[in-house]
Structure 1
Amino acid sequence: MKLKYQRRLFLISVFLSVFFEFSSAQVTTVDSIKTRDKTEELKNIGYGTQASKFITGSVSVVKGATIEQNFNTNLGNTLYGRLAGLTVSQGNSEPGVASPGLLSRGRNNFNTGASSPLIIVDGFVGGGSGIGSIFSSLVPEEIESITLLKDAVTTAVYGGRGANGVLVVTTKRGNAGGLKIDFSTKQGFSQAAQLPEFLDAGDYAFLNNEARRNDGLAELYSEAAINGYRSGENKYLYPNVNWYDEVLRKSAPVSSYNLNLTGGDNNVKYFVLLNAVSNAGLFKNFGDLDPESSNSKYNRYNFRTNIDINLSKRLAIVFNIGGSVENKVNPWEYTTANTFNLIQSLPANAFPVRNSNGSFGGSSLYSGNPVANLLATGYDQSNGRTLQTSLRAIQQLDMIVKGLSASGVVSINNYVVAGSEKNKTYERFPSLGSLDSKGNPNLGLALGTRTSLSAAEITRNQYRNFEVQGSLNYARVFGNHSVAAMVMINTDNEVRDISNTPNNGALSDPYRHNGSATRLTYVYNNKYIAEFSAGYMGTDNFAPGLRYGFFPAGSVGWILSNENFLKNNASIGFLKIRASYGLTGNDNIGGNRYPYVQEYSFNGIEGTIANPIATWEKEKNLNLGFDATVFKMLDINFDIFKRDRFDQLVSSAAIVPNYVGATASLLNLGKTSSQGLEVSLRLNSKPNKKFKYYAETNFSYFKNKNIYSGQIAQLNSGLTNDGQLIGQPLRLRAIGFFTAEEIADSKINPGKYPTRPGVAVQAGDLKYEDIGGSLGFKDGIIDENDRVPVGKPGTPNVTLGLNTGFQFKGFDLNMVFQAVTGNSVYLTGSLFQAFQNNGSITPIALGRWTPETAASATYPRLSSVNNLNNFEGSSFWDRDASFIKMRSAEFGYTLPDKISNKVKLASARFFVTGTNLFSLDRIEYGDPESLGGYPVMRTFVIGTKIQLR
């Protein structure tokens, strides 16, 4: 939808909310269905809410007010350590691009299928968590709660889309009362939490000479040149460039503004939000230096209006409209990936930023000059638009059956990310090595050509979803018996993203889902609970006759604290045990779209053989747990779970012989298994204390493994996936460095020290263990058959979150910590492979092997050519990626009421917030979550929040 129509809808929604606030019309009405007393805490359990004490499934909840205590431009980045069972993995922090990975209870399927939880925003599919999605563009100030649904009884109602868990986002709604205005602002700056370090030009030249000597090559740099690099007397003849300093600034300004309007009466309630956020990014302001370049900047404007209207005693209308307008500009490119790849590979002495005559420096060995790329190649402007709308009617049907109501809703959700690329090319000039009369290098012919600015329009990401739901709800209490039931039918039509489609090209075929869901809950005497839920869903991705699947689940609970033997126990305020079991599904299984359709190429050649029986991934999910409150201060939630996933797509190579002569399709034969536990604890001080404190922690652990992966038989058992962790890396096992004696001995006894065929090794090169050859026994060579499980997958299997703080005399402090372990990171690329592909060198290489340091070396001998031995995938480069991070901290002060009242404020609070404050880890040369690319950002803001009533 075009921006002008979004603006019109927004203005109309604001007008309606203000009109109804000040309207004098009075109508006798009732609120929407409420099955529990208002004093009970309600949690969203998917397509409805339920009192916490009666929930028999496994859920984790975080309130929107809690995640406001940091500064991030992506909602997912506010969830670190917040929800038990949710693994949040940070990537880079580029504004408008940073999008963390999300997993519920870890990964339990192969790489072919989707593993992230289904995201539901206000009851409707939110289009994933990636760049430009509805979820990623939401702001904490509009969030009421985020709930993670983890077990079968809570996710079964989502049918064949719930097996990976469901993340349910609920936005804020209005409350009866006078107009309340909340305004807040944050102003501050962000900076790189850590940047890679590179050796300067003098050290580069000195060590490059050593590397070339090791390779039997002549040295490139004279002693005079090395001294020249170190003295810095002639930056054109002896350049010594810190490319990070040339491209990045030390800090970048950030800001946000937020305005909330809430209020209403028994007839109309409304919530209105306006939000603006800005992050300038780390690039220097290249747009100030060239009118055809641009400064890097990111701005987003969010709006939302949620209105509840009681039209009559029995009819209510719920209207939601929310969205965002996002603008992102970068010099040269849409994202910064190519810039950081280039500056991480350029040696400090590759060439000067500019030559003595003002032209750009360059070399044919490298793809460009980073400064010139950002200054003289134009810019990329991206515009993102999201819009989420829904209209729901709720009709009470007490005249037919007491406690019965009907609901119908239509929703349209979409986002689009489009861009305008302004491109041109430039000339750069290499040094010839000879000098002119002023002692500066003579320059060679231009590399590249200079062109004028050209433009191209591009659509990067699109998503549209049209959804219709209809439901019947029933809730009654008969003496000691409480019954609640829900039956729903729904249909949705999703058009998913097409990346880099020029000139608004065609979208993907719609993904259609039709289905129904039901939930039945029975509570006897406030003690015994039984629940049944199920989803029956169809998708057009499978063949007719196999498109629908049934996914049932059941659970039971027992509130022991309501039994006579515990009712008067002063130390146990609440105790409930619960269990659930059921079947869930995942239709996003990977592989070809419409796998049942036989494909042919344009010349009639048969493609991959069709699979007419392709079907859903399915998972049997068992969960056991208990919830307790003890000593009126400590809340405990405990869960253990077991998940068995089957019918996953795997290769058919193990059962279809090669002589068939065609590419066989993937088959639903794969199996995985996962089990684990989760614990949440919250300790609260007594409410009547002047010094109030809280400490909330959550612990999550899982262990998964492949049961059947469709792998062909392996003679080397170490290469067998089955029985291994999902995503387990397979690499060579490094067993030290070759010694000079071993090299000499190997010439006499070939095969005694196995190496790669055709690869000559020297003293100081890595040595690998001969595990097993193509015949299953040691064969005296190192090849792919010698790989073994090394390290751990990239996803941590243990996550610990801690949220703690205090309040005292108007002062408050809140801190969030996250710790993870059970994962590995692999050191690769130009940051760790010295001189490879004419690349740079970092301090890790200072631990290189030399004859003098043979006993203490931590790095192979230096080599100036691409080394086919030392940088093989091996255990040598695997590192423990465990860490403890302080994700955020906020210190604030709230004015006393008597001062606030004097200035006619309901309340006023001032605060200082820090995000990504520190990391304790074992990676010396970078952040374990983001070793390269745009760095992880540390942000500091000061802010204020005032409230008018």
Structure 2
Amino acid sequence: MIFMVERKNQKQLTCVLLFLLGMMLFPLNLAARGHLLAIGEVGSVQQSRRSVSGVVVDGDNNPLPGVTVQVVGREGGVITDADGAYAIQAATGDELRFQFLGLKTEVVEVGTGSIYNVQLVEDVEMLEEVTVTAFATQKRESVVSSIETINPKELKIPSSNLTTALAGRLAGVISYQRSGEPGADNAQFFVRGVTTFGYASSPLILLDGFEVDANDLARVDPDNIASFSVLKDATSAALYGSKGANGVIMVTTKKGQAGAPKISFRAEARVSAPTKIQQTVDGVTYMNLYNQAQFNDNPLLEPYYSAQKIQNTIDGLNEYAFPNIDWYKEMFKSKAINQYYNFNVSGGGSVVRYYMAVAYNKEEGILRDNRLNNFKNNINIDRFNLLTNITMDLTPTTRFDINMSSIFENYTGPVDNTTDIFRSVMNSNPVEFPKFFLPDEDHAYVKHTLFGSNETGTMLNPFGEMVRGYKDGSNGRITSQFSLDQNLDALTKGLMARAKVSIKSDSFHESRRSYMPYFYHIKTYDEFSDTYVLQEVRRGTDALGDPDQRRDGQFRIYLEGGLTYARTFNDLHDVSGLLIYTQEEIKNTSGNPGRIQQTLPQRLQGMRARVNYGFDNRYLVEMSLTYTGSEKFARDHRWGVFPAMGVGYMLSNEAYWDGLKDIIPQFKLKYSLGQVGNDQIAGPQDRFFFLSDIDPGASGYSWGKNFYNNYGGFNINRYANPHITWEIAVKQNVGFELDLFKNRAVKVILEYFTEDRKQIYQARANLPETMGLTSNVYGNVGEVKSGGWDGSIDLNHSFNDDAWISGRFNFTFAQNEVIENEEPEYRWSYLSNIGWPIYTWKGYIAERLFIDDADVANSPLQELGGNVQAGDIKYKDINGDGRVNSNDVVHIGYPIVPEVTYGFGFSGGYKNFDLSFFMQGQDRVSFFINPNNIAPFANMRNAMKYIADDHWNPNNPVAKAFWPRLSATFNENNNVSNSTWWLRNGRFLRMKTMEVGYTFPKSLFASTGINNVRFYIAGQNLFNITSFKLWDPEMGGEGFNYPLQRVYSAGLNVSF
């Protein structure tokens, strides 16, 4: 039975828990000594001791409060005050230890003097050796899980969307981007590929331990990121219960460090332009090609475009009567100019530390604004990011953290989808009408714009569609987190208690306003007077209509509480563990709730436990267990138990390895095995699988004349199935980690992984119609097996104080195979999806183009529809029955999701200059060119230049021409079918980023308080190496989407 604390008791329960935690503090003597806090036991002070004092500063010589100062071998100590000062009782010969998290510990021997000033510098090696894991952190050498981390600096690319920085940078992450539209340019990403054909295949995303969606991740400011990790195997992801089966992405934001306030400011100007634009033909070429296409269809027809019209267009006689429009140049700019600013401040003292940041992004699209209306139609996005992280040491054993982040976004743009506008621009006829007409005599006093159209008013004017209205919207995302950590060493050393509350509120509002344009066509044109008479072909409206508004929202509250433990016994036995309880409630507050299931709050509960043991830093064991419940399943299947275990062996800590220490100072083998559950098996409208989903107004009876009378009835959209249960992922991982050379300049990770995804939710395919069912029946019947390799090599080396170099290479190879799939019983086995990867394309084998009509007659009959002629695509008869039809469809090419992704880059610096670049690539991926999108002349559409340059011609019948025969109607059945004719290899290698920077000498700003100034220029998506030339191959088959952007930027970093 699921237990939920009643709201009226939550406040009282919280107070009781806080009181009990407060009673568990250290039994220590806390004495205020001026501005210093002394920590120690009550005891006698030896007469030989005297007071010694000093100041502790950081690497920039700023006072460092909060440093623990202790006499080695003695209990107790003091903490430096806000000025970094300390005073402590010590005797000659004693050693003073100065400790601060993230800085190297210093030990100073007390001599005869009384003042000892100390500088603590950043402990880079220690920071790199800490890995963020589920609900905790661990030393890198003790981790047996598969966890990939990246330096947040590598995510600072000239883009307002963080997800576009992931491709090729993290081993195990497969990522690609299909659109460059501002606000809609999220990259898709998967951890170790796609491992299920069920509803959810994307990873869980956690921001400071709280679940967010891909849109939240896209809007995280990279300047505020402290760590970015990917949990890939069972031992790392199993603790996230119902949502960790597809991997976990963990992002943590920066926190304040004790010390004087540090201020940082970054400003960046960006210029973006499409990486590649498809070229359309000019108007004269279009008319000639159209006449040729018409002749191919019927040689007896008169040419649609007369020789006189073609000549008048060549002569430029009248741009309104004989238009020749490049719609793209008329409606799109060559570039957009964007801005980015970040301002943050951090610091604090021994009690309170803070990090606060504000960022502003201004991003525009490449649509042209015009003055026909009093509103703009280009995309414009203004986004503000606010972040406040505060850490308070309420007592020496009690820490309270406050994390508050907000994202506010305002959007304006055209009323229609920008990708739809782009597609209409590519397809619009260049010679039928202009953007708009100048008024003729009869319309001299008309106030509205005279938009152009064809004689019947049925052809789309993309300019009129773009300027006919606008939409504006606002989006607010506010997250507040409060956590309390209580040290329970008083009970047993190493024990900690934690409590956490997270609240997130999202709101979205959009308003659309538009008018109906008036469309006109030239009725008559007088060539001698160069005047025309217009005729209205479609009536419009004179004013914007009432707003069409949409509101959405979501409220989420998350509770977490538990215990953690970490302790070392006899310097041999490292024992750690955790026990965590979580509870979550999600409410959707949409203004258009739809079905009642979507209005009910969602509730999740679970318990997680993990135990880690290490012996002598050589033998490592980790075991975890997750017990979590889902409301989606019937009582007998509601709770899932997901165990995982991992082992590691640190060979480099064995005695026999001593001779190799200088070459391989660290070498670790590791293995993990476990189960992870997934309850995201269907869309948000499908929640309670043990109940039938009934629509009370979807069916009924009608009778009488013209069936005017009707009586409503019920329809079952989905039948109840109490046996529906969890999708289960069984994951294995084996690999090694090693560091090379004495300074550990090279780090290598290589891992092999497998996964068996079982009980995938599917519609049953083989139920007899005699059962009389009105909708599908579903069950847990699918299974997919996947596996592969991923790895990385990191290089870091400093030659001297003036020169350094670093590099990184990583790759991911992930394949999958469908083992069980609910499908019909096919006569031919090659029609089955079993044995093939998920999302592998299916289509016909195209052999060539038909040479002539005799070639058509002597080939197997193609039953795909339409009148097959010379110049059409010839397909292979797979089953040899003399016919080409749906029984000849086979699997072709690679899957739509790349099986191989990789990236490599280097950076280096000499004195004040630095240079870096990063290359991203993908392979073993295929996509289809959609011939329906680029087909010329159908409905008088425009023609692409690459079709004009390479198409089948009866006068030169090339069997391997890119485009089949030109047709004014286009054989939409035979020539547009999925086949190898339109299949393309999606491999490419891209110069993803390049940056050149210069750091000004500090001596220039010695008296200004400025600590560091760096100027840089950078570029993103600079060039591609690919065999595919029509559009950017990363867009796959979506070549008519809003294009991906090449970005150039210049920026300035200033820190105080």
* Structure-1-length-normalised TM-score: 0.92
- Aligned-partner SS, 2:437: coil
Residue 125 (str. 1) matches residue 211 (str. 2): yes
Cα 1:345–1:448 change in 2 (3 A) is: farther
Output the amino acid matched with 1:254.
N
C-alpha distance in 2 between matches for 1:497 and 1:871? 43
Output the amino acid matched with 1:101.
Q
Q: Pairwise mapping of residues 284-433 of structure 1 onto structure 2 (< 5 A)?
A: 284-286=368-370, 288-333=371-416, 335-357=417-439, 359-363=450-454, 364=456, 366=458, 368-375=460-467, 377-432=468-523
Deviates more, 1:353-362 or 1:696-705: 353-362
CA contact (8 A) 1:156 1:534 kept: yes
Deviates more, 1:553-562 or 1:763-772: 763-772
C-alpha distance in 1 between matches for 2:155 and 2:694? 51
Output the amino acid matched with 1:764.
G
Number of paired residues?
904
Instruction: Please name the residue that 1:826 is paired with.
Output: 928
- Deviation of 1:630 after TM superposition, in Å, equals 1.2
Cα 1:366–1:521 change in 2 (3 A) is: farther
Instruction: Please name the residue that 1:935 is paired with.
Output: 1043
- Deviation of 1:607 after TM superposition, in Å, equals 4.0
Cα 1:722–1:805 change in 2 (3 A) is: same
1:674-697 alpha-carbon deviations (Å, 9 max, x no partner):
110011001222453632111101
Deviates more, 1:708-717 or 1:353-362: 353-362
C-alpha distance in 2 between matches for 1:693 and 1:683? 8
Cα 1:460–1:117 change in 2 (3 A) is: farther
CA contact (8 A) 2:850 2:856 kept: no
- Aligned-partner SS, 1:698: strand
Instruction: Please name the residue that 1:860 is paired with.
Output: 964
- Deviation of 1:945 after TM superposition, in Å, equals 0.4
C-alpha distance in 1 between matches for 2:564 and 2:952? 72
CA contact (8 A) 2:856 2:869 kept: no
1:826-850 alpha-carbon deviations (Å, 9 max, x no partner):
1115553222333211123221111
CA contact (8 A) 1:26 1:267 kept: no
C-alpha distance in 2 between matches for 1:76 and 1:626? 28
- Aligned-partner SS, 1:77: helix
Instruction: Please name the residue that 1:584 is paired with.
Output: 676
C-alpha distance in 1 between matches for 2:970 and 2:781? 41
Instruction: Please name the residue that 1:62 is paired with.
Output: 150
1:880 aligned residue (981, 985, 999): 985
- Deviation of 1:783 after TM superposition, in Å, equals 1.9
C-alpha distance in 2 between matches for 1:737 and 1:195? 28
2:942 aligned residue (835, 840, 855): 840
RMSD after superposition: 2.4
Deviates more, 1:70-79 or 1:756-765: 756-765
Instruction: Please name the residue that 1:246 is paired with.
Output: 330
The alignment-based identity, stated in percent, is: 29
Instruction: Please name the residue that 1:6 is paired with.
Output: none
Cα 1:866–1:767 change in 2 (3 A) is: same
Residue 660 (str. 1) matches residue 767 (str. 2): no
CA contact (8 A) 1:731 1:789 kept: yes
- Deviation of 1:780 after TM superposition, in Å, equals 2.7
Cα 1:613–1:440 change in 2 (3 A) is: farther
Residue 488 (str. 1) matches residue 580 (str. 2): yes
Output the amino acid matched with 1:474.
Y
Cα 1:454–1:27 change in 2 (3 A) is: farther
C-alpha distance in 1 between matches for 2:550 and 2:434? 37
Instruction: Please name the residue that 2:30 is paired with.
Output: none
1:458-497 alpha-carbon deviations (Å, 9 max, x no partner):
3365333210000101111101001111000001112358
C-alpha distance in 1 between matches for 2:1043 and 2:596? 33
- Aligned-partner SS, 2:946: helix
CA contact (8 A) 1:415 1:462 kept: yes
- Deviation of 1:430 after TM superposition, in Å, equals 2.3
Residue 755 (str. 1) matches residue 866 (str. 2): no
- Aligned-partner SS, 2:887: helix
C-alpha distance in 1 between matches for 2:1016 and 2:458? 47
1:435-480 alpha-carbon deviations (Å, 9 max, x no partner):
4763455433231412412332533653332100001011111010
Cα 1:290–1:28 change in 2 (3 A) is: farther
- Aligned-partner SS, 1:134: helix
CA contact (8 A) 1:459 1:505 kept: no
Instruction: Please name the residue that 1:469 is paired with.
Output: 560
1:52-105 alpha-carbon deviations (Å, 9 max, x no partner):
11111111112222211x121221112122111111110211111211101000
Instruction: Please name the residue that 1:197 is paired with.
Output: 279
Bigger relative contact order (CA 8 A; separation at least 6): 1
C-alpha distance in 1 between matches for 2:916 and 2:846? 45
Deviates more, 1:565-574 or 1:621-630: 565-574
Instruction: Please name the residue that 1:721 is paired with.
Output: 833
Output the amino acid matched with 1:373.
E
C-alpha distance in 2 between matches for 1:247 and 1:688? 54
Instruction: Please name the residue that 1:812 is paired with.
Output: 914
Cα 1:476–1:366 change in 2 (3 A) is: farther
Cα 1:314–1:744 change in 2 (3 A) is: closer
Instruction: Please name the residue that 2:85 is paired with.
Output: none
Q: Pairwise mapping of residues 665-744 of structure 1 onto structure 2 (< 5 A)?
A: 665-686=777-798, 688=800, 690-740=802-852, 742-743=854-855
Instruction: Please name the residue that 1:620 is paired with.
Output: 730
Cα 1:294–1:434 change in 2 (3 A) is: closer
Cα 1:108–1:378 change in 2 (3 A) is: same
C-alpha distance in 1 between matches for 2:940 and 2:248? 47
- Deviation of 1:289 after TM superposition, in Å, equals 4.4
CA contact (8 A) 1:831 1:841 kept: no
C-alpha distance in 2 between matches for 1:404 and 1:729? 54
Structure 1 residue runs of 5 or longer lacking an equivalent are 1-23, 747-751, 773-777
Residue 600 (str. 1) matches residue 686 (str. 2): no
Output the amino acid matched with 1:861.
R
Residue 225 (str. 1) matches residue 313 (str. 2): no
1:574 aligned residue (645, 658, 666): 666
Output the amino acid matched with 2:240.
Y
C-alpha distance in 2 between matches for 1:293 and 1:627? 55
CA contact (8 A) 2:367 2:377 kept: no
C-alpha distance in 2 between matches for 1:830 and 1:785? 23
1:862-889 alpha-carbon deviations (Å, 9 max, x no partner):
0110312111221100101111111111
2:652 aligned residue (550, 553, 561): 561
1:179 aligned residue (248, 261, 266): 261
Deviates more, 1:819-828 or 1:36-45: 36-45
1:544-574 alpha-carbon deviations (Å, 9 max, x no partner):
2311101110000111111111134211111
* Structure-2-length-normalised TM-score: 0.82
C-alpha distance in 2 between matches for 1:390 and 1:352? 57
Output the amino acid matched with 2:513.
K
Cα 1:708–1:433 change in 2 (3 A) is: farther
Output the amino acid matched with 2:425.
I
Instruction: Please name the residue that 1:114 is paired with.
Output: 200
Output the amino acid matched with 1:859.
W
CA contact (8 A) 2:178 2:1041 kept: no
1:554-601 alpha-carbon deviations (Å, 9 max, x no partner):
000111111111134211111001000000111111163312112333
Cα 1:98–1:744 change in 2 (3 A) is: closer
C-alpha distance in 2 between matches for 1:31 and 1:322? 29
Instruction: Please name the residue that 2:1018 is paired with.
Output: 913
CA contact (8 A) 1:344 1:830 kept: no
CA contact (8 A) 1:895 1:908 kept: yes
C-alpha distance in 2 between matches for 1:672 and 1:206? 52
Output the amino acid matched with 1:571.
I
